[in-house]
Protein backbone atom coordinates (compact mmCIF):
# COMPACT_ATOMS: atom_id res chain seq x y z
CA UNK A 1 0.00 0.00 0.00
CA UNK A 2 1.26 3.46 -0.91
CA UNK A 3 0.39 7.01 0.13
CA UNK A 4 1.42 10.06 -1.93
CA UNK A 5 2.55 12.96 0.28
CA UNK A 6 2.75 16.45 -1.20
CA UNK A 7 6.02 17.84 0.15
CA UNK A 8 7.51 21.33 0.09
CA UNK A 9 10.36 22.49 2.38
CA UNK A 10 8.04 24.51 4.63
CA UNK A 11 5.60 24.07 7.52
CA UNK A 12 2.89 22.61 5.30
CA UNK A 13 5.30 19.99 3.99
CA UNK A 14 6.32 19.01 7.52
CA UNK A 15 2.65 18.76 8.57
CA UNK A 16 1.88 16.49 5.61
CA UNK A 17 4.84 14.19 6.33
CA UNK A 18 3.86 13.92 10.01
CA UNK A 19 0.30 12.94 9.10
CA UNK A 20 1.56 10.47 6.51
CA UNK A 21 3.69 8.79 9.18
CA UNK A 22 0.78 8.65 11.64
CA UNK A 23 -1.54 7.03 9.10
CA UNK A 24 1.03 4.65 7.63
CA UNK A 25 2.72 3.60 10.86
CA UNK A 26 2.60 -0.08 11.73
CA UNK A 27 0.52 -0.80 8.62
CA UNK A 28 3.27 -1.69 6.18
CA UNK A 29 2.37 1.30 4.01
CA UNK A 30 4.96 3.18 1.98
CA UNK A 31 5.14 6.97 1.73
CA UNK A 32 5.94 8.51 -1.65
CA UNK A 33 7.18 12.00 -0.80
CA UNK A 34 6.60 14.21 -3.83
CA UNK A 35 8.51 17.47 -4.37
CA UNK A 36 6.86 19.28 -7.28
CA UNK A 37 8.86 21.87 -9.19
CA UNK A 38 7.51 24.34 -11.71
CA UNK A 39 7.39 23.26 -15.32
CA UNK A 40 10.20 25.67 -16.22
CA UNK A 41 12.26 25.17 -13.08
CA UNK A 42 16.02 24.89 -13.87
CA UNK A 43 16.34 21.46 -12.28
CA UNK A 44 18.40 18.56 -13.58
CA UNK A 45 18.86 15.39 -11.55
CA UNK A 46 22.06 15.53 -9.54
CA UNK A 47 24.97 13.36 -10.65
CA UNK A 48 25.09 10.35 -8.30
CA UNK A 49 28.89 10.17 -8.77
CA UNK A 50 29.32 13.42 -6.85
CA UNK A 51 29.89 15.75 -9.81
CA UNK A 52 29.40 19.46 -9.30
CA UNK A 53 25.76 20.42 -8.86
CA UNK A 54 23.88 23.66 -9.39
CA UNK A 55 22.35 25.75 -6.57
CA UNK A 56 18.93 24.47 -7.61
CA UNK A 57 20.12 20.88 -7.37
CA UNK A 58 21.58 21.54 -3.94
CA UNK A 59 18.20 22.86 -2.78
CA UNK A 60 16.48 19.72 -4.02
CA UNK A 61 19.05 17.48 -2.32
CA UNK A 62 18.61 19.42 0.93
CA UNK A 63 14.82 19.04 0.64
CA UNK A 64 15.30 15.31 0.11
CA UNK A 65 17.54 14.98 3.16
CA UNK A 66 15.12 16.97 5.30
CA UNK A 67 12.01 15.09 4.18
CA UNK A 68 13.49 11.61 4.52
CA UNK A 69 15.08 12.63 7.81
CA UNK A 70 11.60 13.14 9.27
CA UNK A 71 10.53 9.57 8.54
CA UNK A 72 11.24 6.98 11.26
CA UNK A 73 12.89 3.65 10.49
CA UNK A 74 9.65 1.68 10.85
CA UNK A 75 7.99 3.52 7.92
CA UNK A 76 9.12 2.95 4.33
CA UNK A 77 9.55 6.12 2.28
CA UNK A 78 10.85 7.21 -1.12
CA UNK A 79 11.52 10.75 -2.32
CA UNK A 80 10.45 11.83 -5.81
CA UNK A 81 11.00 15.02 -7.77
CA UNK A 82 8.62 15.88 -10.59
CA UNK A 83 7.90 18.94 -12.66
CA UNK A 84 4.56 20.31 -13.73
CA UNK A 85 2.43 23.43 -14.00
CA UNK A 86 0.01 22.19 -11.33
CA UNK A 87 1.10 20.77 -7.97
CA UNK A 88 -2.31 19.10 -7.51
CA UNK A 89 -2.30 17.57 -11.00
CA UNK A 90 1.16 16.07 -10.43
CA UNK A 91 0.03 14.54 -7.11
CA UNK A 92 -3.05 13.05 -8.75
CA UNK A 93 -0.97 11.63 -11.63
CA UNK A 94 1.44 10.06 -9.13
CA UNK A 95 -1.40 8.61 -7.05
CA UNK A 96 -2.93 7.00 -10.14
CA UNK A 97 0.48 5.72 -11.33
CA UNK A 98 1.37 4.22 -7.93
CA UNK A 99 -2.18 2.97 -7.31
CA UNK A 100 -1.99 4.91 -4.05
CA UNK A 101 -4.75 4.70 -1.47
CA UNK A 102 -4.39 8.30 -0.34
CA UNK A 103 -2.99 11.75 -1.16
CA UNK A 104 -1.80 13.71 1.89
CA UNK A 105 -1.18 17.45 1.99
CA UNK A 106 -0.82 20.19 4.60
CA UNK A 107 -3.32 23.00 5.14
CA UNK A 108 -2.52 26.52 3.97
CA UNK A 109 0.13 28.26 6.04
CA UNK A 110 -2.04 31.25 6.95
CA UNK A 111 -4.63 29.19 8.84
CA UNK A 112 -5.12 29.47 12.57
CA UNK A 113 -3.14 26.97 14.64
CA UNK A 114 -4.82 23.57 14.53
CA UNK A 115 -7.39 24.92 12.05
CA UNK A 116 -7.68 24.87 8.30
CA UNK A 117 -7.49 27.51 5.61
CA UNK A 118 -7.60 25.52 2.41
CA UNK A 119 -5.01 26.73 -0.09
CA UNK A 120 -4.99 26.41 -3.85
CA UNK A 121 -3.37 22.94 -3.96
CA UNK A 122 -5.72 21.42 -1.40
CA UNK A 123 -8.69 23.14 -3.03
CA UNK A 124 -7.81 21.66 -6.42
CA UNK A 125 -7.44 18.19 -4.90
CA UNK A 126 -10.77 18.57 -3.09
CA UNK A 127 -12.51 19.15 -6.40
CA UNK A 128 -10.77 16.65 -8.66
CA UNK A 129 -9.01 13.75 -6.93
CA UNK A 130 -10.09 10.18 -7.79
CA UNK A 131 -8.58 8.89 -4.51
CA UNK A 132 -9.18 10.04 -0.91
CA UNK A 133 -7.37 13.20 0.19
CA UNK A 134 -6.05 13.71 3.73
CA UNK A 135 -5.54 17.24 5.06
CA UNK A 136 -3.21 17.97 7.98
CA UNK A 137 -4.12 20.96 10.15
CA UNK A 138 -1.52 23.66 10.49
CA UNK A 139 1.03 22.71 13.14
CA UNK A 140 0.30 18.99 13.01
CA UNK A 141 3.40 17.23 14.35
CA UNK A 142 2.00 14.03 15.87
CA UNK A 143 3.55 10.93 14.30
CA UNK A 144 2.24 8.21 16.67
CA UNK A 145 -0.28 5.80 15.11
CA UNK A 146 -3.89 6.90 14.70
CA UNK A 147 -5.90 6.06 17.84
CA UNK A 148 -9.51 6.55 16.72
CA UNK A 149 -11.47 7.08 13.52
CA UNK A 150 -14.54 9.31 13.36
CA UNK A 151 -16.84 9.11 10.36
CA UNK A 152 -19.36 11.87 9.76
CA UNK A 153 -22.55 10.29 8.50
CA UNK A 154 -25.60 11.63 6.74
CA UNK A 155 -28.47 10.44 4.60
CA UNK A 156 -27.41 12.15 1.40
CA UNK A 157 -25.65 10.57 -1.54
CA UNK A 158 -21.92 10.32 -0.82
CA UNK A 159 -22.07 9.23 2.82
CA UNK A 160 -21.88 5.49 2.10
CA UNK A 161 -18.36 5.62 0.64
CA UNK A 162 -17.05 7.35 3.77
CA UNK A 163 -18.69 4.73 6.00
CA UNK A 164 -17.18 1.93 3.91
CA UNK A 165 -13.68 3.42 4.11
CA UNK A 166 -14.02 3.98 7.86
CA UNK A 167 -15.17 0.41 8.49
CA UNK A 168 -12.32 -1.14 6.54
CA UNK A 169 -9.69 1.16 8.03
CA UNK A 170 -10.90 0.70 11.62
CA UNK A 171 -11.04 -3.07 11.21
CA UNK A 172 -7.53 -3.28 9.81
CA UNK A 173 -6.06 -0.98 12.43
CA UNK A 174 -8.08 -2.36 15.33
CA UNK A 175 -8.88 1.15 16.55
CA UNK A 176 -12.22 2.45 17.88
CA UNK A 177 -14.67 3.77 15.32
CA UNK A 178 -17.13 6.57 16.06
CA UNK A 179 -20.02 7.57 13.81
CA UNK A 180 -21.12 11.19 14.22
CA UNK A 181 -24.30 12.86 13.00
CA UNK A 182 -24.48 16.66 13.16
CA UNK A 183 -27.63 18.74 13.67
CA UNK A 184 -27.59 22.47 12.91
CA UNK A 185 -30.22 24.12 15.12
CA UNK A 186 -30.28 27.40 13.17
CA UNK A 187 -31.37 25.54 10.07
CA UNK A 188 -35.12 25.80 9.29
CA UNK A 189 -37.09 22.69 10.27
CA UNK A 190 -40.59 21.39 9.72
CA UNK A 191 -43.57 21.54 12.03
CA UNK A 192 -42.04 19.09 14.52
CA UNK A 193 -39.08 21.39 15.21
CA UNK A 194 -35.59 20.63 16.45
CA UNK A 195 -36.53 17.72 18.69
CA UNK A 196 -37.76 15.48 15.91
CA UNK A 197 -34.74 16.30 13.78
CA UNK A 198 -32.40 15.33 16.62
CA UNK A 199 -34.38 12.13 17.20
CA UNK A 200 -34.15 11.31 13.48
CA UNK A 201 -30.38 11.82 13.63
CA UNK A 202 -30.16 9.41 16.57
CA UNK A 203 -32.24 6.81 14.73
CA UNK A 204 -30.10 7.05 11.62
CA UNK A 205 -26.83 6.89 13.58
CA UNK A 206 -27.98 3.80 15.46
CA UNK A 207 -29.02 2.15 12.20
CA UNK A 208 -25.54 2.78 10.78
CA UNK A 209 -23.98 1.37 13.97
CA UNK A 210 -26.15 -1.74 13.82
CA UNK A 211 -25.16 -2.40 10.22
CA UNK A 212 -21.49 -1.73 11.05
CA UNK A 213 -21.55 -4.36 13.80
CA UNK A 214 -21.97 -7.03 11.13
CA UNK A 215 -18.93 -5.81 9.20
CA UNK A 216 -16.45 -5.21 12.01
CA UNK A 217 -14.49 -7.95 13.80
CA UNK A 218 -16.30 -9.39 16.82
CA UNK A 219 -15.81 -7.20 19.87
CA UNK A 220 -14.52 -4.21 17.90
CA UNK A 221 -15.25 -0.92 19.67
CA UNK A 222 -17.76 1.20 17.78
CA UNK A 223 -20.04 4.00 18.95
CA UNK A 224 -22.33 6.78 17.75
CA UNK A 225 -22.70 10.42 18.74
CA UNK A 226 -25.22 13.05 17.72
CA UNK A 227 -23.83 16.56 18.12
CA UNK A 228 -26.02 19.63 17.80
CA UNK A 229 -25.40 23.34 17.99
CA UNK A 230 -26.63 26.66 16.69
CA UNK A 231 -24.32 26.13 13.71
CA UNK A 232 -22.44 23.15 12.30
CA UNK A 233 -19.23 24.69 13.57
CA UNK A 234 -20.68 24.83 17.08
CA UNK A 235 -21.82 21.21 16.81
CA UNK A 236 -18.30 20.13 15.81
CA UNK A 237 -16.81 22.11 18.70
CA UNK A 238 -19.11 20.32 21.15
CA UNK A 239 -17.55 16.93 20.39
CA UNK A 240 -14.62 15.44 22.28
CA UNK A 241 -11.49 14.97 20.21
CA UNK A 242 -8.44 12.80 20.83
CA UNK A 243 -4.93 13.82 19.84
CA UNK A 244 -4.73 10.72 17.69
CA UNK A 245 -8.06 11.24 15.90
CA UNK A 246 -8.69 11.03 12.15
CA UNK A 247 -11.98 12.18 10.63
CA UNK A 248 -13.47 10.68 7.47
CA UNK A 249 -16.16 12.43 5.44
CA UNK A 250 -17.77 11.80 2.06
CA UNK A 251 -17.91 14.08 -0.95
CA UNK A 252 -20.85 16.26 -1.84
CA UNK A 253 -23.70 14.66 -3.77
CA UNK A 254 -22.84 17.18 -6.51
CA UNK A 255 -19.51 15.46 -7.17
CA UNK A 256 -18.90 13.55 -10.37
CA UNK A 257 -18.79 9.80 -9.86
CA UNK A 258 -15.42 8.62 -8.45
CA UNK A 259 -14.31 12.21 -7.88
CA UNK A 260 -14.07 14.44 -4.83
CA UNK A 261 -16.15 17.56 -4.48
CA UNK A 262 -16.28 19.19 -1.06
CA UNK A 263 -19.62 20.88 -0.47
CA UNK A 264 -20.83 23.60 1.89
CA UNK A 265 -21.42 21.23 4.82
CA UNK A 266 -17.94 19.75 4.63
CA UNK A 267 -16.46 23.25 4.30
CA UNK A 268 -18.16 24.30 7.54
CA UNK A 269 -16.94 21.16 9.31
CA UNK A 270 -13.44 21.73 7.97
CA UNK A 271 -13.25 25.22 9.45
CA UNK A 272 -13.89 23.87 12.95
CA UNK A 273 -11.93 20.61 13.04
CA UNK A 274 -8.87 20.44 15.32
CA UNK A 275 -7.80 17.07 13.84
CA UNK A 276 -6.83 15.70 10.39
CA UNK A 277 -9.55 15.08 7.82
CA UNK A 278 -9.88 12.56 4.98
CA UNK A 279 -12.34 13.30 2.17
CA UNK A 280 -13.54 10.28 0.16
CA UNK A 281 -14.58 10.52 -3.51
CA UNK A 282 -18.20 9.93 -4.44
CA UNK A 283 -18.96 6.20 -4.86
CA UNK A 284 -15.32 5.40 -4.20
CA UNK A 285 -14.70 1.84 -5.36
CA UNK A 286 -11.34 1.43 -3.64
CA UNK A 287 -12.80 1.30 -0.15
CA UNK A 288 -12.68 -2.49 0.18
CA UNK A 289 -9.56 -3.19 -1.83
CA UNK A 290 -7.43 -0.15 -0.87
CA UNK A 291 -8.37 1.02 2.64
CA UNK A 292 -6.51 3.73 4.56
CA UNK A 293 -3.88 1.52 6.09
pLDDT in tens, 77-97: 999 999 998 999 999 999 999
Residue 258's domain is classified under what CATH number? 3.40.50.620
For residue 174, what are the domain limits? 148-280
For the stretch 46-79, pLDDT in tens is 455 556 677 878 889 999 999 999 999 999 999 9
My answer on whether 120 and 203 are in the same domain is no
Instruction: Give the pLDDT mean for 116-141.
Output: 84
235 shares a domain with 157: yes
Question: By C-alpha distance, which of 219, 183, 220, 187 is closest to 204?
Answer: 183
Q: What is the pTM of this model?
A: 0.85
Domains contained in the chain, number:
2
The pLDDT assigned to 224 comes to: 85
Q: In this predicted model, which residue has the larger pLDDT, 137 or 188? A: 137
Residues 152 and 113 in one domain: no
Amino acid sequence: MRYVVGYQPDERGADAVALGIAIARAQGAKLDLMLVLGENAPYVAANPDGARVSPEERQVLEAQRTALGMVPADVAAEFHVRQGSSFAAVLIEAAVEFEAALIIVGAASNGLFKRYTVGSVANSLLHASPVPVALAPRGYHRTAPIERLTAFIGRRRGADAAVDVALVAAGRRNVPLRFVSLVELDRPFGANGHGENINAAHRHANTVLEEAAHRLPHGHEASVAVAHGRTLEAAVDSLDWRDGELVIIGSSRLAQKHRIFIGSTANKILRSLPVPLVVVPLEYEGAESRPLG
